[in-house]
Amino acid sequence: MTTRRGLFSAGAALAVVAVAPVRAQPARPLEPLQIVTRNGVEEFRVELAQTPEELARGLMFRRELPERQGMLFDFLAEQHVGFWMRNTLIPLDMLFIGADGVIRHLHENAVPLSEETIASRYPVRAVLEINGGLARRLGIRPGDRVRHRIFAGG
């Protein structure tokens, strides 16, 4: 997803960045991430986006995302954020996560290529993007806890 000022692309975040529709950028190294649900622990491997360029590009132009992979957008401090799906070719679930690692809310099945703003309802430290529909299939809900090195106790 792409960002406008304060908006991030699904698969991208921050200010509007002019990005020519070129081929997908190679994946960043994958890191372990767990989501503790009411039904157990779900394991993922994620790319971590932290620089303005990484936040702006996100998952744009990618044609697929393996089921247990995703992208974690780290905003370094809690804030309101917004995303859109410009130049994002695959449906995504967006998990909006507080600094404590707790999922505050989620947006399911963001529509590819949409410029509709998907905003956080609360200030969040991070957003995790995974394949659209996967959160529902795995029983991931607000209140579940995400374990990753960027979160306290992660």
| Band (28; pLDDT cuts 50, 70, 90) | confident
Please state the rounded mean pLDDT for residues 13-38: 64
Q: pLDDT band at 16, cuts 50/70/90?
A: very low
* Rg (the chain; Cα; Å): 14
Q: Residue 103 and residue 29: Cα distance in Å, rounded?
A: 24
Question: Has domain 7-17+31-147 been given CATH number 2.60.120.1140?
Answer: yes
pTM for the structure as a whole: 0.85
Phi, psi of 35 (to 5 degrees): -120, 120
Is residue 8 predicted with pLDDT exceeding 80?
no
Q: Quick one: how many helices (H) and strands (E) in the chain?
A: 2, 10
The DSSP secondary-structure symbol of 84 reads: E
State the average pLDDT for the chain.
Answer: 87
pLDDT tens-place string over residues 91-134: 999 999 999 999 999 999 999 999 999 999 999 999 999 999 99
